[in-house]
Amino acid sequence: MATQQTREWTPSDWTDFVHTGPGTLAGQYMRQFWHPIMRTEDLPPGRAKPIKIMSEDLTLYRGETGTPHCVAFRCAHRGTQLSTGWVEGEDLRCFYHGWKYDGSGQCIEQPAEPEPFCGRIKIKSYPAEEYVGLIFVYIGGGQAPPMYRFPQLEDGKFLQLREFPVWPCSYWNRQENDPVHVAFVHREGPHGDIGLIEPPRVWAEETDYGMVVHEVTPGGIESMGHRLMPAMTQFIAPDGTQNVGWKVPIDDTHCIHPVVRAVPLKGDALEAYKTRRTNQWSRASLLEIGEGVLRGEIDLHDPSLRETTNIVNVQDYASMVAQGAIPDFEHEHLGKSDTSMIFWRKLWERELRSLAEGRPLTAWTQDIHLTSERHFTDRARGEVPTTLGLRV
């Protein structure tokens, strides 16, 4: 494994979920899963691009047959960036002096060498696979686990994947975006003010895939959101779209959030949806407006802002990036409404501690098919459990 334990872990490592670079405990845990890093459409055959994931620089390229490959960032010769080179068949030739590598990282040509020593040169390589319009990499070393399977994303519905800009905050900021925020962060919605709404009561239970978060509004509407280990969300939106999203650390202070939406529409209705949901706003505008808001130059509550930008994204950006690139966890004051987040931290702590102590980790299911999630229940009118359903 790329991130072998190099020191004794301490209890502070069990609760450090943010740092995921090589040699960190959370990084070692995260490296046991596949992570999406780029949209299929952003890497045409014959193209190489630099990527960064969990503080590791790498090269992602697509062979001329369409197969994605992931190899080291730099050439073993004199260290130039391999993404500037040429894809030849399934191989990658360095731009500087033409050394050529296959998809396993093995050097197979050294054109300028009178006596090539390719057999001694191998750069690192990692498995790469495509699924539901995304290219995933597995950088944990050893045998990769099976690729995710989401039947609800495979049953012929239209899949929508928006661009996912890099946000200047840790992936943990976005992991902990909780259900209660909606009542405030999105109160001034794209279609007008929702006004002051009472936040839902929230509780969480452990599941085979991670955690289910139950919400009950004061009016008795219960809904659920699902968190899949290690850093995924899944929910069905009111319009029936199935949403699966991943939070992926680029480094400790930057992240992406790829989301796949399966849209249950056909014909004219689908065309109308596509027109409505295409990228109306560039990613530059989200970052520029979000930063303008945080600098105090743009008024987040100016109604005209909703005409010119994806206001929901700007609102999320303004709340989560504003926590700091890495939030100050030491000075938080958490309450009961933070239950789902506290619960998620407990699950993570349990897994990191098991990893640190060499005990078996929970084998999370990653093949789940949700059908219906938004409904009224009798329980919604009863007492909300206050205990955490953590399995010990």
Residues 6 or more apart whose CB falls under 8 angstroms from that of 350 comprise: 362, 390, 392
Q: Which of residues 124 and 162 has its CB atom nearest to ligand FES in the complex?
A: 124
Size of the site for Fe ion (CB under 5 A): 1
Q: Give the DSSP per-residue string, 138-170.
A: --S-SSPPPPP--GGGTSSPEEEE---PPBSS-
- Out of ligand FES, Fe ion, none, which partner does residue 316 contact, by CB within 5 to 8 A per kind? Fe ion
179 in Cβ contact with 213 (< 8 Å): yes
Residues 71-100 within binding reach of ligand FES (CB under 6 A) = 75, 77-78, 80, 94, 96-99
CB closer to ligand FES, 98 vs 168: 98
Rounded Cα–Cα distance for residues 317 and 169 (Å): 10
Which 3 state secondary structure label does DSSP give 190? coil
355 vs 11, 29, 55, 227, CA distance in Å?
12, 7, 20, 20
Residue whose C-alpha is closest to residue 51's, from 26, 82, 80, 21: 82
Q: Nearer to ligand FES by C-beta: 29 or 99?
A: 99
Q: Does 113 bind ligand FES (CB under 6 A)?
A: no
Q: Which stretch binds Fe ion (CB under 5 A): 88-96, 259-267, 297-305, 314-322?
A: 314-322
Residue number with CB closer to ligand FES (101 or 150): 101
39 binds, among ligand FES, Fe ion, none (CB under 5 to 8 A by kind): none
Tokens of 155: 């049953």
Any bridge partners for residue 36, and if so which? Answer: 136
For residues 200 and 185, give the distance between their C-alpha atoms in angstroms, rounded to a whole number. 14
Contact between 181 and ligand FES per CB under 6 A: no
Residue 72 partner contact from ligand FES, Fe ion, none using kind-dependent CB cut-offs of 5 to 8 Å: none
Could you say which of ligand FES, Fe ion, none residue 99 binds, taking C-beta under 5 to 8 angstroms by partner kind? ligand FES
Nearer to Fe ion, 107 or 213 (CB): 213
Binding mask 16-55 for ligand FES (x = CB under 6 A): ----------------------------------------
User: Can you tell me which of 13, 130, 252, 316 binds Fe ion, judged by CB under 5 A?
Assistant: 316
Task: Kindly compute the dihedral angle of the four CA atoms of residues 288, 274, 35, 174, in this order, to the nearest 10 degrees.
Answer: 50
Q: Which is nearer to Fe ion, 142 or 324 (CB)?
A: 324
Count, residues near ligand FES per rule CB under 6 A: 9
- Find the shortest distance in angstroms from Cβ 141 to ligand FES: 24
Q: Is 223 helix (H, G, I), strand (E, B) or coil?
A: strand
180 Cβ contact partners less than 8 Å away, ≥ 6 residues apart: 199, 200, 202, 337, 338
List of residues contacting Fe ion (CB under 5 A): 316
User: Which residues are near ligand FES by CB under 6 A?
Assistant: 75, 77-78, 80, 94, 96-99
